[in-house]
Chains A and B, each alone.
Chain A
């Protein structure tokens, strides 16, 4: 038996791929030159924080639900949820039991799922569905018809999550999962809704000298090598290699109107951007 005949039906790149190694730098460079089709260029991915928003209950969530509803006519939104305090509890328990990082991801996914379900019920009266990762093929239809969908923010890695270099916490959590949704669909915006006005030089909850950063280049932020960050480090690593997403925005979901302003393209909160020279 042999493989398919590349001369018959395959596009030009096929000669490389059918005969070469996909780890060969020359083959990778050839794929780098291929076009990038934006699948949902008008969609906005909005991540609603777990510990920062949903764990606060209705005082934080109800106003945000109203703000989301008021934007349904104007902006298409993929709403991903964070995990929060129950994930921290189950991570602590599972680590105490000696369970590996992949199992922690399975457990953390369930918490983000719970939060997504609650958000979904609060938005149900507007016809907003909850969709599982396996159901993403219907996502474009709901965005066109209803303006938004709710999904859990964890990437569906399950037991296949990779170990972090240090410690046991899954390195790819809901910030990363939502970022990858934005990137794969070529979305218009990636907005993180948290409980701070964006990025600070230190954790403003713990350090009164922490200063707000309205806009910062990715390479500059990485050069600071901060001890703590507003976003998972994996997001910053992936932003370096992204082909569609050029910036990510962080807004305070406890301040009415910030999400709307971000959706309207205003520079609220903090924007982390890739400077032009970083764009390969």
Chain B
């Protein structure tokens, strides 16, 4: 065992010498969180649901984003879409691990985010890679009331391991949500190609009902085979401190984004 001369040099702090794995120490750190960007809204443009449809789906949405620029500050995440599914397929076939699939897929979302930023460039929106979201985002929002980011969280090779299979569990809904939570954003809106979350798949079940409001825990417990948002969001939302709601709206319907930004009940709200 170490002698006294071998003692660690400590910086005095309430956590000095403590084990950060100790449940009591962890519980003792519970304390209020301050919203860093309380007026900002995070919206996410779906990959397969919006981007892959091209101009027909995307350009009206771009117009609606611009129309809201004077009223609402928008941090715009973008999904990866079908190219990420394709590289998942090739990567899985080659035996590559989840962390590599996550790194590869992030580039597909980066392409989509960059295209969205080009369409919004004349209004001052820029695309920010993760390190620039950390450092430059507030300045960009002050200058243009908006910026675009990659929906895939920057977990790269360090992506968590899924319970079943090899698909990266944290995709663009989760990545966009985490941005809303860390900045304490006013709204988190997921733009999809369906009107919200249904009691069953509306494409195959005639009496499927739209769910206007549901808790993340209750939605997870229903074990619906398909959901219009990443399942990981339901887990992460359970630990929300600031962004306690996610609103799923149909981005193909003009006006939906504006209504959601104005606080109207449209689509489905999934809450903590």
Contacts and interface: CB of A to CB of B under 8 A. Distances in A.
A103 interface: yes
A30 B156 contact: no
Interface string B72-99: 0000000001110110111011111111
Interface string B5-45: 11111111111111111111011111111101000000000
Given A3-B85, A88-B11, 5 more contacts: A3-B81, A89-B16, A92-B13, A160-B130, A227-B24
A244 to B, nearest CB: 7
B21 A89 contact: no
B11 A243 contact: no
A85 B10 contact: yes
B157 A133 contact: yes
Interface stretch (A52-60, A66-74, A114-122): A52-60
24 contacts: A1-B53, A11-B92, A17-B86, A18-B86, A31-B165, A31-B166, A36-B95, A37-B95, A51-B17, A91-B29, A92-B14, A98-B33, A100-B36, A100-B181, A133-B156, A136-B157, A156-B158, A158-B130, A158-B154, A163-B236, A166-B26, A186-B97, A203-B19, A227-B22
Interface of A: 1-4, 10-14, 17-18, 21-25, 27-32, 34-37, 39, 51-52, 55-57, 59-60, 84-86, 88-89, 91-93, 95-103, 106, 133, 136, 155-169, 173, 177, 180-181, 183-184, 186, 195, 203, 227-233, 238, 241-244, 254
Given A14-B89, A100-B33, A167-B27, A51 B8 contact: yes
Contacts of B263: none
B210 to A, nearest CB: 18
A-B pairs, 9 with minimum CB distance: A37-B95, A98-B34, A1-B54, A11-B93, A14-B89, A102-B182, A184-B99, A88-B15, A31-B165
A2 B10 CA distance: 59
B226 interface: yes
A15 to B, nearest CB: 8
B142 interface: no
Contacts of B164: 25, 28-29, 32
Contact of A243 (B27, B97, B154): B97
B223 to A, nearest CB: 9
Contacts of B90: 10-11, 14
A164 B241 CA distance: 10
A98 B179 CA distance: 17
Given A32-B166, A37-B94, A228 B19 contact: yes
B44 to A, nearest CB: 14
Contact of B83 (A4, A56, A173): A4
Contact of A184 (B13, B157, B183, B242): B157
B13 A227 contact: no
Contacts of A86: 11
B225 A25 contact: yes
Given A37-B96, A55-B8, A241-B161, A254 B31 contact: no
Given A34-B92, A100-B33, A227-B23, A244 B97 contact: yes
A241 B239 CA distance: 22
A279 to B, nearest CB: 14
Nearest to B241: A163
B161 A238 contact: yes
B33 A162 contact: no
Contacts of A11: 89-90, 92-93
Contacts of B227: 21, 23
B199 to A, nearest CB: 17
A85 B92 CA distance: 41
A259 B92 CA distance: 35
B95 A160 contact: no
A157 B130 CA distance: 9
B104 interface: no
A244 B131 CA distance: 30
Question: Considering residues A29, A157, A160, which has the most beta carbons from chain B within 10 angstroms of its beta carbon?
Answer: A160
Contacts of A14: 85-86, 89-90
B15 A92 contact: yes
Question: Considering residues B2, B36, B165, B226, which has the most beta carbons from chain A within 10 angstroms of its beta carbon?
Answer: B165
